[in-house]
Amino acid sequence: MKITDIEGIILRLPVVRAIGDGCQSVLLIRVHTDEGLVGIGEAHTNPLVSKAILDAPLCSVSAEGLRSLLIGEDPRDIGRLWDKMYKHSATYGRRGALMHAMSGVDIALWDLLGKIAGLPIHRLLGGPRRDAVRAYASDLSQPDLGDTIALARRHCEAGFRAMKFGWGGLGQNPRADARAVAAIRAEIGDAMDLMIDIGVPMPLDDALYLGRAFADSGVYFLEEPLSPDDVAGFARLVAQSPTPIATGEKETTQYPYLDLMDRGGLRIIQPDVARVGGISETLRIVHHAEARGARVIPHCWSTDILVAATLHVLAVQRDAPYLEFNATDNPLRTDLLVEPMRVVDGFVRVPDGPGLGITLNDDTIARYRWTG
Ligand SMILES: [Mg+2]
């Protein structure tokens, strides 16, 4: 079997706003083969940048686009092809956008391998340890606290047993943040897990204040209150905050997670399967975390392609506390599959069809396809 083409398709909402929502404009990747099978993937990134990385022609032996590198290759050789992409993009890649594009291709290759074998990806990864994963509703903090509390109520009614609010107005005023989180906790009761995502860097002293204040509200984790590059700051924060600290959604490849865990002391890391290097690299990160007794709660805020890929990884993790589940009303999340991912009694089932186990909704693709 040979790869005949790699296609990057940009889907974009009619109106894209400057908010903390990375699912307004997405890159769907299709890997085509000479036997008619097609693998599906997604890169969670700026889609036009990643599409250029797919389509770029040969520049030098260490600066080639991914499409020309892989055409003619056997799609079943996932590990070798991962290394080939990494090696032949080394002068412009290794981190960031290149790794985002590679992630989408890697997910599509795993989807293809599963389709060839007639098995779900989790079966190819050693077999599932669970058939469903507990989901937390992941939502944006609203400018008006009353609106955030209304969303919290809605997530309770939808059967979620955990929820996270992030970005929006958080991170501007620590005392206001502490009051807001106490009000949300009062609304949802003690049985619900509550996570808070600051998303933008704040001074270390403010992050420490929140780490202490949020402990009174039983916050499950405080996410990304410092710059991703401030590993020394994380080390001090983790050592002193009674609220657990989580971070890692902006990293790519396994290497920064080693630094976050070993130097930063992080006990919860959040790789994004469609950014870090796909299913292949996420598994390497999971193994590093397992060896250190750290928890992996993947970042997952995009389409159901990413949700499916993340579920296959979570299915095989020894420890899989939560699936992040984008709870906003967004057709690129809710309408991209013929059978969209659903939360039932707080859990999402791991797909069990061949490959990712999903079928794209062609009407949604036609409706939101962006050609510039
Ligand atoms: Mg986040």
CATH top-level class for 3-120?
A: alpha beta
CATH top-level class for 124-368?
A: alpha beta
* Domain chopping of the chain, boundaries: 3-120, 124-368
Cα dihedral: 53, 56, 59, 61 (round 10): 60
The pTM (predicted TM-score) of the whole model is 0.97
The pLDDT, as a whole number, for residue 149 is: 97
First and final CA of the chain: distance in angstroms? Answer: 33
The pLDDT, as a whole number, for residue 20 is: 81
The pLDDT, as a whole number, for residue 167 is: 87
* Residue 296 CA to ligand 1 centre (angstroms): 14
* Residue 21 CA to ligand 1 centre (angstroms): 10
- In the β-sheet with 38-43, what is the strand arrangement from edge to edge? 3-12, 25-33, 38-43
* Residue 118 CA to ligand 1 centre (angstroms): 35
Catalytic residue among 32, 100, 299, 312: 299
* Residue 209 CA to ligand 1 centre (angstroms): 19
pLDDT tens for the chain, 372 residues long, are 999 999 999 999 999 998 888 899 999 999 999 999 999 999 999 999 999 999 999 999 999 999 999 999 999 999 999 999 999 999 999 999 999 999 999 999 999 999 999 999 999 999 999 999 999 999 999 999 999 999 999 999 999 999 999 988 888 999 999 999 999 999 999 999 999 999 889 999 999 999 999 999 999 999 999 999 999 999 999 999 999 999 999 999 999 999 999 999 999 999 999 999 999 999 999 999 999 999 999 999 999 999 999 999 999 999 999 999 999 889 999 999 999 999 999 999 999 999 999 999 999 999 999 988
What is the Cα Rg of the chain in Å? 20
Has 44 been annotated as catalytic?
A: no
